[in-house]
Structure 1
Amino acid sequence: MKKFDNGNDRYDYSAIISRGVYDWPGQRRLAVYFALNIEGFELGRNPGNDFTSMPSAPYHRGYAYRDYGNRVGVWRIHRLFEQFEFPLAILANGSVYDVCPEVLDAFRRRGDEMVGHGRTNSERQADMTPEAERGMLQDVRAMFERYEGRPPAGWLGPFISQSPQTPELLKELGWTYMLDWWFDDQPMWFRTNNGPILAVPYPSMELNDLPAYVNRGASDKEFTRMAIDAFDEQLEESAQYPMVYCLSLHTFLTGQPHRIRQLRRILSHIARHRDQIWLTTPGAIAEHVVQLPPGTVPIR
Structure 2
Amino acid sequence: MILPSHGRYAYHPWPGRAAYAWPGGAKLAVYLGLNLEHFAFGEGLGAELAPGANGGGGPQPDVLNYAWRDYGNRVGAWRILELLDELALPATVLLNSAMYDYAPELLAAHRARGDEFAGHGRTNSERQSVLDEAAERQLIADSTAALLTAEGAAPRGWLSPWIAESTVTPDLLAEAGYRYTLNWCADDQPIWMATRAGPLLAIPYPQEVNDIPAIVARKDGAAQFADMIMDDFDERLRQVRDGVPQVMGIALHPYLIGQPYRLRALRRALAHVAAARDTVWITTAGGILDHVLGLPEGAVP
SS at match of 2:167: coil
1:281 aligns with 2:284: yes
Contact 1:168 1:193 (C-alpha < 8 Å) held by counterparts: yes
Structure 1 residue 49 displacement after superposition: 4.1
1:10 aligns with 2:12: no
Contact 2:94 2:159 (C-alpha < 8 Å) held by counterparts: yes
1:206 corresponds in structure 2 to 208
Contact 1:47 1:63 (C-alpha < 8 Å) held by counterparts: no
Query: Match of 1:35, as an amino acid?
Result: G
Contact 2:9 2:192 (C-alpha < 8 Å) held by counterparts: yes
1:135 aligns with 2:138: yes
Q: Distance in 2 between matches of 1:101 and 1:166?
A: 28
1:53 corresponds in structure 2 to 51
TM-score by length of 1: 0.96
Q: Distance in 2 between matches of 1:252 and 1:12?
A: 37
2:217 corresponds in structure 1 to 215
Q: Taking structure 1 as reference, are residues 135 and 77 closer, same or farther at Cα in structure 2, changes over 3 Å only?
A: same
TM-score by length of 2: 0.96
Pick from 244, 247, 260 the counterpart of residue 244 of structure 1.
247
2:193 corresponds in structure 1 to 190
Runs of at least 5 residues in structure 2 that lack an aligned partner in the other structure: 54-58
Pick from 31, 34, 40 the counterpart of residue 33 of structure 1.
31
Residues 138-166 of structure 1, C-alpha deviation per residue, up to 9 Å, x if partnerless? 11111111100000000000011111111
Query: Match of 1:10, as an amino acid?
Result: R
SS at match of 2:149: helix
1:172 aligns with 2:175: yes
Q: Distance in 1 between matches of 2:183 and 2:19?
A: 24
% identical equivalent positions:
46
Query: Match of 2:253, as an amino acid?
Result: H
1:256 corresponds in structure 2 to 259
2:103 corresponds in structure 1 to 100
Count of residues in Structure 1 that have an aligned counterpart in Structure 2: 295
Q: Which runs of at least 4 in structure 1 moved beyond 3 Å after TM superposition? A: none
Q: Distance in 2 between matches of 1:131 and 1:6?
A: 25
1:228 corresponds in structure 2 to 230
1:81 aligns with 2:84: yes
SS at match of 1:58: coil
Query: Match of 2:127, as an amino acid?
Result: R
